[in-house]
């Protein structure tokens, strides 16, 4: 399967990429291309121009910035996985990325590309949302920062405008928090039917704070806020967290498809949330 | 058309290609490197796996223009002509194939796996090969071959002959 014809620009700077985007009515940015190329090959999309940001080295950095970690939009998954600061301070994101597709895809694919692709079944959106990430978006008028909660607008739709570029992801550190990512699939390297990511802070066996992200439970990545609030002050035991985790699907509007109907997904979300919270709390 | 210059299996090549040309097409149709095969053509099966700057990628999911300025190794460049890489030797010895279609990708991914983790457990091998599908035999002998190659100390750059002496 071959994509439809397109023009191609290998941008060497953010400015060059932005200028090309502003001059085309129908351009697409390609980062690692691991989601975009299948789309182009199946001709679900056929842009006139492909702007390749793979050669912009400033977008590949992963930086420890004191209270937060900054990940460039072009940093490939395997580089993020190899980064000790990410592993130590963003455990939930690290665990979710280790479950993305397969090693070959993780060598090419990028966190930035996945977030802008905004597939609600993607592994990364919900963790970035749950961890209160911020997205730095560049346009010709300058940079703006968007909170993850405002970034994911709808199915495959984000706050990044046609002439804009996601350049960095900034996520506050969660030192001392436990984390776990529960991905429910029927076969290897499938998109999750449902996945749940949990980051939990405990104090002597009691949960003091929790962040829960839901994958494939609606048209965007979601956060289980009712569960997060209900977990505070609970003992990190099966009985201690059960009631709170039963609220996980509150407000969610999951899809029905061949892998399961919406009710099944709602049930799955509560079970996976319980497992993720207990594992994250070390219980 | 776009101008690309890259290294493929140690040789410098340059070409004018359509931007939409996939790396796997370029390798097979322009360079005649048909050792790299197209299996599913949807980036699922891993049969087209090659190394790009020493890391495994699915060459049906990379544009040839994205490989501009980079180094590609295919199954044909894994060992010197006439010799086998230790991983190829291990697949042969352990009968890790039936029809052989998935084999080029399996071997390239297995080499990448050992580069990352020279002594993987069985679980780590199965996880490391999760992006490569075999539809003939299952994975039992493939896992055994990777274990055998790991025991023999297989790495990317050295052909099997050199490994035996090492």
B41 touches A at CB < 8 Å: yes
Instruction: Give the distance from residue B55's alpha carbon to the nearest chain A alpha carbon, in angstroms.
Output: 7
Asked whether the beta carbons of residue A2 and residue B22 sit closer than 8 angstroms, the reply is yes
Q: Which fold has domain B2-77?
A: Ubiquitin-like (UB roll) (3.10.20)
B156 touches A at CB < 8 Å: no
ipTM score of complex: 0.95
Q: Is A142 helix (H, G, I), strand (E, B) or coil?
A: strand
Q: For tokens 């980079």, name the residue.
A: B70
Q: For residue A281, what are its two tokens?
A: 């709390």
- Return the DSSP state at A158: E
Q: For residue B20, what are its two tokens?
A: 């939409």
- The full set of domain ranges for chain A reads 7-52, 61-172, 180-281
- CA A35 to chain centroid, in Å, comes to 13
C-alpha distance from residue B40 to each of A1, A38, A104, B49, B106 (Å): 10, 12, 15, 12, 14
- The full set of domain ranges for chain B reads 2-77, 86-165
Q: For tokens 């055998």, name the residue.
A: B148
What superfamily would CATH give domain A180-281? CO dehydrogenase flavoprotein, C-terminal domain (3.30.390.50)
The dotted CATH code for A61-172 is 3.30.465.10
How many angstroms separate the CA atoms of B141 and A191, rounded?
A: 27
Nearest to A117 by CA among A189, A56, A38: A38
Query: Are the C-beta atoms of residues A207 and A236 closer than 8 Å to each other?
Result: yes
Asked whether the beta carbons of residue B43 and residue A37 sit closer than 8 angstroms, the reply is yes
Residues of A in contact with B128 (CB under 8 A): 103
Residues of B in contact with A33 (CB under 8 A): 61-63, 66
* B86-165 and B2-77 share a CATH fold: no
Interface A-B, measured as beta-carbon pairs within 8 A, has a size of 83
From 1.10.150.120, 1.10.357.10, 3.40.50.720, 1.20.1090.10, which CATH number describes the B86-165 domain? 1.10.150.120
Q: Is A71 helix (H, G, I), strand (E, B) or coil?
A: strand
Model pTM score: 0.95
**In this complex, which of B42, B68, B131 lies closest to A38 when CB atoms are compared?**
B42
Architecture of domain A7-52: 2-Layer Sandwich (3.30)
Residue by residue, pLDDT tens for chain A (283 residues) are 899 999 999 999 999 999 999 999 999 999 999 999 999 999 999 999 999 999 999 999 999 999 999 999 999 999 999 999 999 999 999 999 999 999 999 999 999 999 999 999 999 999 999 999 999 999 999 999 999 999 999 999 999 999 999 999 999 999 999 999 999 998 877 899 999 999 999 999 999 999 999 999 999 999 999 999 999 999 999 999 999 999 999 999 999 999 999 999 999 999 999 999 999 999 5
Q: For residue A206, what are its two tokens?
A: 């009691």
Residues of B in contact with A10 (CB under 8 A): 65, 68
Residue A159 CB neighbours (<10 A): 18
């Amino acid at each position: 399967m071959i994509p439809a014809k397109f023009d191609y620009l290998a941008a060497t700077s953010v400015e060059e990429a932005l200028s090309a985007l502003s001059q085309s009515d129908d351009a697409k940015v390609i980062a690692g291309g691991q989601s975009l190329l299948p789309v182009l090959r199946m001709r679900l999309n056929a842009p006139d121009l492909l702007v390749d940001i793979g050669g912009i080295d400033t977008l590949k950095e992963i930086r420890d910035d004191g209270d937060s970690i900054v990940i460039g939009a072009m940093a490939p998954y395997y580089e993020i996985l190899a980064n000790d600061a990410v592993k130590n301070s963003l455990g939930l994101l690290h665990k979710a990325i280790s479950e993305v597709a397969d090693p070959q895809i993780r060598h090419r694919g990028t966190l930035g590309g996945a977030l802008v692709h905004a597939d609600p079944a993607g592994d990364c959106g919900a963790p970035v949302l749950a961890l209160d990430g911020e997205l730095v978006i560049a346009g010709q008028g300058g940079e703006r920062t968007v909170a993850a909660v405002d970034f994911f607008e709808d199915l495959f739709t984000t706050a990044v405008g046609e002439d804009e570029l996601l350049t960095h992801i900034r996520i506050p550190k969660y030192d001392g928090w436990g984390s776990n990512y529960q991905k429910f699939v029927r076969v290897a390297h499938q998109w999750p039917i449902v996945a749940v990511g949990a980051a939990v802070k405990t104090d002597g066996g009691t949960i003091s704070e929790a962040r829960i992200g839901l994958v494939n439970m609606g048209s965007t990545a979601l956060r289980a806020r009712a569960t997060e609030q209900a977990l505070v002050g609970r003992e990190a035991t099966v009985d201690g967290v059960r009631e709170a985790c039963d609220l996980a699907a509150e407000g969610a509007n999951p899809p029905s498809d061949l892998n399961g109907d919406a009710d099944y997904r709602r049930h799955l979300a509560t079970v996976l949330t319980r497992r993720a919270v207990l594992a994250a709390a070390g219980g | 058309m776009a101008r690309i210059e890259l290294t493929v299996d140690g040789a410098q090549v340059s070409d004018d290609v359509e931007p939409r040309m996939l790396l796997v097409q370029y390798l097979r149709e322009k360079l005649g490197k048909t050792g790299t095969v197209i299996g599913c053509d949807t980036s699922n099966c891993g049969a087209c796996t090659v190394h790009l700057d020493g890391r495994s990628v699915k060459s049906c999911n990379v544009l040839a223009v994205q490989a501009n300025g980079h180094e590609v190794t295919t199954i044909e460049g894994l060992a010197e002509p006439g010799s086998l890489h230790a991983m190829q030797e291990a697949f042969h010895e352990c009968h890790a194939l039936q029809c052989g279609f998935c084999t080029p990708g399996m071997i390239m991914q297995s080499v990448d796996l050992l580069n990352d983790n020279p002594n993987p457990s069985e679980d780590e091998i199965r996880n490391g090969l999760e992006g490569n599908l075999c539809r003939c035999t299952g994975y039992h002998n493939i896992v055994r071959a990777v274990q055998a190659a790991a025991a023999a100390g297989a790495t990317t750059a050295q052909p099997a002959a050199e490994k035996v002496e090492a």
